[in-house]
């Protein structure tokens, strides 16, 4: 099973989870690089709140060679980060299994994951799972449940989920 792991990360925690996950499944890691570094947190939050897209640096929307696409994004004010919006509004996920992963300070971000799920379905994807992971607090510092080790473990757990037999079937 070929797996593509696509992620956006502003402060590194989503990257840690995505890297461990890709390593665990022997998949391909693809970063969504936002041309805007989002250093102004207020403006970043507003862009997410208004469901804006982002301009991506060297975007690659080709998922043809993959059976499964994992999409990871931080939750920003209950929404996906703009880079994830861009990817999900452009990619063709017809016939692909899609695993959605949202990181957040609060752990569970149902509003964010619900947006992601809807976008993935609108692009033809078959959503096989939705996961929430404790990320960093909003100022970018690791909270007690989001050490690098915890984030790596979360990524490994997701790799295990993807390798469960029912997620491997056609
Ligand atoms: C602008 C902004 C808005 C955020 N809004 C939320 C939120 O609504 N809910 C939440 O649980 N975490 C929120 N967070 C925290 C991030 O989701 C969390 O720190 C995540 O781990 C960051 O991922 P990254 O390190 O890959 O950038 C926000 C962070 C930023 C920068």
Task: Please tell me the predicted confidence (pLDDT) of residue 142.
Answer: 59
Task: Please tell me the predicted confidence (pLDDT) of residue 169.
Answer: 66
Give 64's DSSP letter.
T
- What confidence tens digit (pLDDT) does each residue in 96-153 have? 999 999 999 988 889 999 999 999 999 999 999 999 999 988 776 655 568 899 999 9
Using a 6 Å CB cutoff, which residues line ligand 1?
Answer: 9-15, 41, 44-45, 74-78, 103-106, 109, 135-136, 138
pLDDT above 90 covers a percentage of the chain that reads 85
Could you tell me what percentage of the chain is helix, strand and coil, using 3-state DSSP and rounding each to the nearest 5?
A: 35, 25, 40
Sign of torsion over alpha carbons 37, 62, 86, 77? negative
| Atom 22 (ligand 1) nearest CA | 74
Atom of ligand 1 minimally distant from the CA of 137: 19
- What confidence tens digit (pLDDT) does each residue in 46-89 have? 999 999 999 999 999 999 999 999 999 999 999 999 999 999 99
3-class state of residue 21 by DSSP: helix
Task: Please tell me the predicted confidence (pLDDT) of residue 40.
Answer: 95
Looking at the predicted complex, does its ipTM rise above 0.90?
A: yes
Tokens read off for 132: 């929430």
The full set of domain ranges for the chain reads 3-168
CA distance linking residue 101 with residue 23, whole number of Å: 16
Is residue 6 scored above 80 in pLDDT?
A: yes
Radius of gyration of the chain (CA): 15
- What CATH architecture is 3-168? 3-Layer(aba) Sandwich (3.40)
Atom of ligand 1 minimally distant from the CA of 8: 26
């Amino acid at each position: 099973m070929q797996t593509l792991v696509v992620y956006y990360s502003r402060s590194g925690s989503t990257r840690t989870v995505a890297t461990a996950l890709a390593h665990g499944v022997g998949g391909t890691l693809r970063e969504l690089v936002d041309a805007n570094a989002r250093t102004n947190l207020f403006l970043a939050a507003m862009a997410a709140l208004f469901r804006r897209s982002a301009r991506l640096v060297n975007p690659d929307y080709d998922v043809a060679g993959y059976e499964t696409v994992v999409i990871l994004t931080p939750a920003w004010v209950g929404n996906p980060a703009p880079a994830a919006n861009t990817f999900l509004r452009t990619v063709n996920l017809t016939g692909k299994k899609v695993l959605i992963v949202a990181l957040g300070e609060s752990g569970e971000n149902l509003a964010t994951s619900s947006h992601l799920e809807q976008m993935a379905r609108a692009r033809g994807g078959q959503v096989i799972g939705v996961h929430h992971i404790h990320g960093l607090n909003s100022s970018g510092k690791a909270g007690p449940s989001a050490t690098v080790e915890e984030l790596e473990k979360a990524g490994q757990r997701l790799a295990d989920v993807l390798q469960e037999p029912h997620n491997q079937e056609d």
